[in-house]
Amino acid sequence: MNPVDIIVKKRDGYELTRQEIDFFVQGLTAGRIPDYQVAAWAMAVYFRGMTDRETTNLTLSMAASGDQFDLHDVLPPGTVIVDKHSSGGVGDKTTLAVGPIVAACGLPVGKMSGRGLSFTGGTIDKLESIPGWSAELTEEQFRHQLRTIGLVVAAQTTNLAPADKVLYPLRDVTGTVPSLPLIASSIMSKKLAAGADAIVLDVKCGHGAFMETLDEARALSRLMVAIGNLAGRKSTALITQMEQPLGQAVGNALEVKEAIDTLRGAGPADFQELVETVAGEMLLIAGAAHTAGEAQQRVTTAIQSGAALQKFAAFVAAQGGDAGVVDDPTLLPAAPVRVTVPAKKEGFVHAIDARAIGLTVVALGGGRQKKGEAIDPRVGVMVAAKVGDRVRRDSTLCTVHAADAAAADAVIERLQDAYTIGMEPVAALPIVLDRITGDR
């Protein structure tokens, strides 16, 4: 086969065969196909798109480009391995609470997660704010913990879907990042390679997410669900609101504390609802519950009995962390300076620019603009007023947690500007906007 023929075929709008896709993915991974040809192919895909079958074949080829995990040999026969993926958002600490709940219900959860970049935080960064906790596990340690604890979250291995590691940077510099087939295959290739039998996708929608409109989120959700089902994995997508920060905490240690509160059933209402909904969906898709009502009852029991919180403590300890943070959150890193941000006028909160909040936390040192930058786990923003809330002039919109007073003072006006306050009452924002299954 010839890379040029494959580029021309896609440029002209024809469907690529599995063999052609395999050849191209293997070539780009091994470096046999030069960057300029990969970039030309990506641009052809951007303009011409791909069919569901074509995108599934691309996903399978990318998953097969490196390590593929089969964890069934360490679990009882017939065990369904379930995973979740969030497309990323501001204040999204969902995995930290959902994982322990689902594991406490008897479903093993083994996740490979990443670090944050730009305005969205990373699961690994949040967990590393727990003293001693480590994401660096060998495959044997990963397997042992999955078998004995039922919950493990580790850093993504260097050889998991390496084709994506070649393709994504080229997409980033050639204007082809927004291609739905390339987005979906990037996400799903890593999920398939990690060995999940069933996948719940939490697709964020709004200004604080990469998919800003409901139509965009639905299109991506339908494509990823189709890929999962065509690849033989049960898949469902929940489209969830990201027009404002999720919960109240934005910042690594602050989000860990909020996740712990949520495992006690005392989290912010929107985050508590999302966590319990995603956990229930994972039980349903894995066959651990037959109805939505049964799934929600099991989730409620895991929280109220303390089983989910105990599972989180066991998971933290197994990866070297100080499980004492569960009972004493003061063991988490804390910023030395806290400054409240006052409302400029009286009225009702009409909107909060979630992306602006996330970028403010980055500016405080709680996130990174490029890979490898150190982050400060102490800093962040605690959101007090959410959409629909009434505020008075000088009442607290949010609280800045900063390394020093100068850093806090520098972001106050920026945070005030992130709020839109009007005189007319508005409703609180819903958290779950849609549910996409293989049937629609």
Catalytic residue numbers read: 85, 164, 171, 186, 190
The H or E element containing residue 338 is: strand 337-342
Cα–Cα distances (Å) from 332 to 134, 152, 363, 379, in that order, read 15, 20, 21, 12
The rounded Cα 117 to chain-centroid distance in angstroms is 12
Nearest residue to 312 (alpha-carbon basis) of 99, 106, 82: 99
Largest CA distance in the chain: 69
Cα–Cα distances (Å) from 148 to 130, 218, 272, 282, in that order, read 21, 38, 27, 20
* SS3 state of residue 154: strand
Instruction: Tell me the β-bridge partners of 401.
Output: 338, 380
Cα–Cα distances (Å) from 233 to 83, 193, 196, 285, in that order, read 11, 12, 8, 10
- Give residues with Cβ within 8 angstroms of 390, minimum separation 6: 347, 348, 349, 425
Nearest residue to 342 (alpha-carbon basis) of 383, 397, 410: 397
- Mark out the alpha helices in 160-268 (DSSP H runs): 162-174, 180-193, 214-230, 252-263
d(CA 76, CA 184): 31
- Give residues with Cβ within 8 angstroms of 43, minimum separation 6: 174, 175, 176
d(CA 176, CA 186): 13
Instruction: Tell me the β-bridge partners of 434.
Output: 239
Q: How far apart are the two ends of the chain, measured CA to CA in Å?
A: 37
Instruction: Tell me the β-bridge partners of 380.
Output: 401
Place of tokens 């319990």: 276
- Give residues with Cβ within 8 angstroms of 69, minimum separation 6: 139, 193, 194, 195
d(CA 159, CA 71): 17
Cα–Cα distances (Å) from 336 to 255, 312, 331, 373, in that order, read 17, 27, 14, 22
